[in-house]
């Protein structure tokens, strides 16, 4: 995959602009990357329902689970599907609505200072090799664009909303991801 960031957009990604975004404050210091997982309906992939959720067009009658989430106004900067394809929903200079009630290092409202990446998946099964490859490449680009984010400031949703969120879940291989990321950063230095 050949991707790069220009004008707060990921060149090489599918672009869909979610209405669920807002301006960051002028003093926002983007210094956190949050990894999530999502599948809609739960455990099902390639349904198009994630796009619908981020576009406020999810049909509440299409699945029983949708009744409880169809009114949510949420988004993420990026989604990496099971094949490793990346979709961008929110430009990087804008606030995506992905972390909800959250805190990191004593700072609340992590959406204000973070970038969110959703991996298509669940807490109950492994992510794909293609997803790790794309996640590493995307992360390298983000870290180059936002030097205040370093590998220690890459966390899971569960880290900023403990007790409320569990993603990216126990099947996300943090050691594998961090080793691959470290190797790519060293190779690019």
Catalytic residues: 118
The Cβ of residue 16 has, within 10 Å, a number of other Cβ atoms equal to 14
Neighbours of 23 (CB within 10 A): 9
Asked if 116 and 36 touch (Cβ cutoff 8 Å), the reply is: yes
CA-to-CA dists, residue 107 to 34, 83, 101, angstroms: 14, 35, 11
What CA–CA distance (Å, rounded) separates 180 from 22?
A: 32
């Amino acid at each position: 995959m050949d991707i790069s960031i220009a004008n707060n957009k990921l060149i090489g990604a599918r672009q869909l602009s979610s209405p669920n975004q807002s301006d960051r404050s002028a003093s926002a210091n983007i210094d956190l990357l949050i990894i999530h997982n999502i599948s809609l309906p739960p455990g099902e992939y390639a349904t198009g329902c994630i796009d619908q959720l981020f576009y406020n067009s999810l049909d509440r009658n299409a699945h029983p689970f949708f009744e409880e989430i169809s009114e949510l106004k949420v988004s993420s900067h990026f989604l990496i599907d099971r094949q490793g394809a990346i979709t961008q929903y929110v430009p990087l200079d804008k606030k995506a609505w992905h972390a909800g009630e959250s805190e990191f290092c004593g700072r609340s409202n992590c959406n204000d200072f973070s970038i969110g990446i959703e991996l298509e998946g669940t807490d109950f099964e492994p992510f794909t090799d293609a997803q790790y490859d794309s996640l590493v490449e995307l992360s390298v680009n983000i870290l180059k664009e936002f030097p205040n984010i370093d590998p220690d400031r890459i966390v899971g949703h569960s880290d900023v909303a403990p007790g409320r969120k569990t993603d990216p879940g126990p099947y996300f291989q943090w050691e594998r991801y961090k080793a691959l990321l470290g190797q790519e950063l060293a190779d690019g230095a």
